[in-house]
Structure 1
Amino acid sequence: MPTIGWIFLILALALIVGGLMILRDSAHSMKISDEKMKKIRERQKELEAQDNEDDDWK
């Protein structure tokens, strides 16, 4: 493979690894407020109740 091919290959791998590392580092910094978490749990309970109701109907 020519030298330019190796350069492109190394550059592509570096971009992929760098992107994954940035994603990993930023994954824990996104905190959800207690109020939003409460709304999420309430909505989840509503959906589960609706799903159970639909299962009973079938």
Structure 2
Amino acid sequence: MPVIGWVFVIVALALIVGGLMILRDSAHSMKISDEKMAKIRKRKAELEAQEKADDDWK
């Protein structure tokens, strides 16, 4: 393989590895406020209760 081919392979691998590292580093940077988390938990409980009622009805 000519040198330019190896350069393209190395650049492609570097872009893939770099993208994965950035994704890993930013994976936990989204913080959810306590207020939003409470709303999420409340909605989840409502949906579970509704699903249970639907299952009991059938």
With the length of structure 2 as denominator, give the TM-score of the two structures.
Answer: 0.83
Matching residue of 1:7: 7
Shift of 1:56: 1.2
Aligned equivalents of 1:11, 1:35: Cα separation in 2: 44
List, as ranges, runs of 4+ consecutive aligned residues in structure 1 with deviation greater than 6 Å.
Answer: none
TM-score, structure 1 normalization? 0.83
**2:20 corresponds to which residue?**
20
- Cα RMSD between the aligned structures? 1.2
- Structure 1 unaligned regions, length at least 5: none
Unaligned runs of 5+ in 2: none
Task: Work out the number of aligned pairs and report it.
Answer: 58
